[in-house]
Structure 1
Amino acid sequence: MSVKDRDPLTGHQTTGHEWNGITELNTRVPPIVWFFIIVTHLFALIMWILLPTWPLVTTYTKGILGFDQREVVEQDIVLAHIARADWTDRIATLPADDILNDTELMARVTGTAHQIFGDNCAGCHGTNAAGGPGFPSLIDTAWLWGGDTDTIMETLRVGINSTHPETRYAQMLAFGRDGILPRDDIRLVVDYVQSLSGAAAPADRIAAGGEIFANNCAACHGENGLGNTDLGAPNLADAVWIYGGDDMAMYQTIWAGRQGWMPTWEGRLSLTERKILAVYLQHLGQEARQ
C-alpha cells in the first residue's frame, strides 16, 4: 500500500501500515496542541531565567528576580514570633500557677500547645494525652519523673534514654531472661505486686513474693512499691500500668525487663514552647481529675 493513499472517509493520507484490514492514518497533530506545547516551553524558559532553578556543583542559579523561598519562610517566622511576643514573653516569665489561673493567657496556651502536642507528642501519647500500651498517660498523677512544671520541662529538654548528653536514664532489668530470678519466683512477685493495688492472692504467696521483691525490686521501686521519681521507677501500688497489670503482662515485664524511650526536644522546641507544653499538660490533668 502506498503512503499516498487516502482514507475515503477522512481524506487523511495513510502510513502504509495495515493490520487485519485496519489502516493506520497519517493524522497531523492538531494546531491547538502545538500552541500549548510552545506556550508551556516558553513559560518554562522564562521561569528558568526569573527564578532559582538549575542546581550547580555547590550552589544553584539564583534567577534575575532574586526570589528565595527559604528567606520568605524565615521572614514569616520572624514576623510570627513578633506577633506572639506580647503573650509568649509573659509565658516565659510567669510561674506556672499564675499562667493556669489567667483565663486569657490559658486560651493562648491551649490553642498553641494543642498544635505543638499534636505535631510532636500525640503519635506516642495519643491525641488526648491519655497514653496507651507502652506509653504513659500524661493526664494522671502517676508521673515517672515528677509532674511539676520544671520537671516536665527538663524531661522534655533531655528526653529519656535519648541521644542528649544529659538524658534521663531508666531501665528495668530482665530478671528472667538474664537468669536473676526463676519462673516461679517471678510469679510470686507478680502476685505480691498485684496485691499492692488491692488484688487478692493467697497470704503465703504474697509473703513469699514480698521477700523476693524486697531483695530485688525495692532498691528502685521503694520498700512499699511506691516508686522513685529520682530514678524514673514507677509506683507499683496505684493500679496505673504502662505495659499492663494482668498476669501475663506483668510476668513479661519482669521476665524481659523494660526500657522506655523519649527523644530530646531541646533542638526542636524552644524553651518557651516546652513551658507551654508543660503548662498545657498540667491543665489537661486538672480537667481530667474534675
Structure 2
Amino acid sequence: MADNHDESRERDDHSGVETTGHEWDGIKELDNPLPRWWLWILYASVVWAVVYMVFMPAIPGLPGLGDHTRGITDNSERRNVAEAVAELEASRAGYFEQLQQAGSIDAIESDPDLLGFAMAAGRSAFGDNCATCHGAGAQGFVGYPNLNDDVWLWGGTFEDIQHTLRVGIRSEHRDTRYSQMPAFGRDELLSREEINQVTDYVLTLSGREPETLASAEAGAEIFVNQCSACHMEDGTGDRFQGAPNLTDADWLYGGERAQIINTIWRGPYGVMPSWEGRLDDQTITALAAYVYFLGGGESDAFIEAAQLNQD
C-alpha cells in the first residue's frame, strides 16, 4: 500500500500523526481526520436543509420572489397564529356574549361557568395591560394602588370599576376621573412648619402618635382650612373627588411621617390610562369582574349601608 503521508511534514513523536504546522504555546495541532459519525451528521444536515428549503419558507428577500420563498407547502406561521387566534375568539364569543348580557356582578357570580370564564379572561387581560403598574399579583407599589384590599379611591362597585377602566384617571378621555391635590410646599401654600403640623394631625386621624400634641392641635386648624374640602372634616375622604380616606392604615404614597410630609409638599397624583378603545367592551367587563373579586369589591347594599351610617 502506498504511503500518502507527506514526509516533509513534521510528525508528532507520541502519536506518529502529522502536524498541521500550527503551534500555540508549545502545543502543536495534529492533522487528524474528522470522525466518521460527525461527517455523516454534517452530510445529513446538508441534505435536510436542502429538503426543508424546497418544502418550507426558507430564503428571505431574493429578487423577484417577494419577502421570502414560499416553499411547496406555502406554510406561514403568521397565518397559522392568526387562524388559531380567530378560532380561540370564536370559541370564547359565546361566553363573552353571556358576560355582556349578565349585566350585574351578582348574575356573573351566580353562574359558576361564567364566573370561571370571567376570571380567566380578566386575569389574562390584567397580565397584559395592568400588571406593569399594579404588579403581577395586583399588590401594587408606592404610588400604584393595591387591588387586593377593599380600599377604593373612586368606588369599588362593579360599575365603578368598569367606569374607571373605561375613562381612566387623569387620562385624555373626555370623561376621565380627575382629582388634584395642591403642592402645598412646592407652591408655597403652606410653610414647612405648617406642613409638619398638619402631618402630625393626619397621623392622629389613623390612631398614630404625633411628634407633639401641640403640633397636632395646630395642624387640626390647618386641616380644616386647607384639606377638609376634599378629605372631609373627619378625614374620611370623598370618593366623588377621588380624595382618599385618611383614617385608615392604607397609604398610596407611603404612611411614614417623612412620606406624608413629602406627599403634602409636592401634591403627587397618578395617571391611569383610559382603556376604552384599547380594549373591547367584553374584555373590560371581564377585567372589571376580575379586579372586583380580587379585593372583594363593594356591593350596592354595602354602599347604601355606608351612606346611611354617614347620614
Give the TM-score range, shorter chain. 0.7 to 0.9
State the shift of 1:62 in Å: 4.2
CA contact (8 A) 1:2 1:16 kept: no
TM-score (norm 1): 0.81
Q: 1:29 aligns with which of 20, 27, 34?
A: 34
Whether 1:234 aligns to 2:249 is no
2:296 is paired with a residue whose SS is helix
2:97 match: 89
**May I ask how many residue pairs the two structures share in their alignment?**
289
CA contact (8 A) 1:189 1:212 kept: yes
Distance 2:24 2:233 in 1: 91
User: One-letter code of the match for 1:179?
Assistant: E
| C-alpha spacing 1:167/1:25, structure 2 compared with 1 (3 Å) | same
State the shift of 1:9 in Å: 5.4
CA contact (8 A) 1:170 1:260 kept: no
User: One-letter code of the match for 1:212?
Assistant: I
1:15 is paired with a residue whose SS is strand
Matches within 5 A, 1:33-52: 33-52=38-57
State the shift of 1:128 in Å: 4.4
User: One-letter code of the match for 2:248?
Assistant: D
**1:263-285 deviation line (CA, Å, top 9, x unaligned):** 44345533212211211222233
CA contact (8 A) 1:100 1:106 kept: yes
Moved more, 172-181 or 49-58: 49-58
Q: Which runs of 5+ in 2 are unaligned?
A: 1-5, 300-311
CA contact (8 A) 2:158 2:298 kept: no
Percent of aligned positions that are identical: 40
TM-score (norm 2): 0.77
CA contact (8 A) 2:122 2:286 kept: yes
User: One-letter code of the match for 2:261?
Assistant: Y
Moved more, 128-137 or 12-21: 12-21
State the shift of 1:186 in Å: 0.5
Distance 2:273 2:80 in 1: 30
User: One-letter code of the match for 2:157?
Assistant: D
Whether 1:79 aligns to 2:96 is no
1:286 is paired with a residue whose SS is coil
1:146 match: 155
Q: 1:61 aligns with which of 57, 68, 71?
A: 68
CA contact (8 A) 2:150 2:297 kept: no
Q: 1:121 aligns with which of 118, 130, 137?
A: 130
- Report the aligned-residue RMSD: 3.4
Moved more, 164-173 or 28-37: 164-173
1:12 match: 17
Q: Which runs of 5+ in 1 are unaligned?
A: none
| C-alpha spacing 1:176/1:287, structure 2 compared with 1 (3 Å) | closer
2:292 match: 282
| C-alpha spacing 1:71/1:264, structure 2 compared with 1 (3 Å) | farther
State the shift of 1:132 in Å: 3.8
State the shift of 1:184 in Å: 0.8
Whether 1:111 aligns to 2:120 is yes
Moved more, 180-189 or 29-38: 29-38
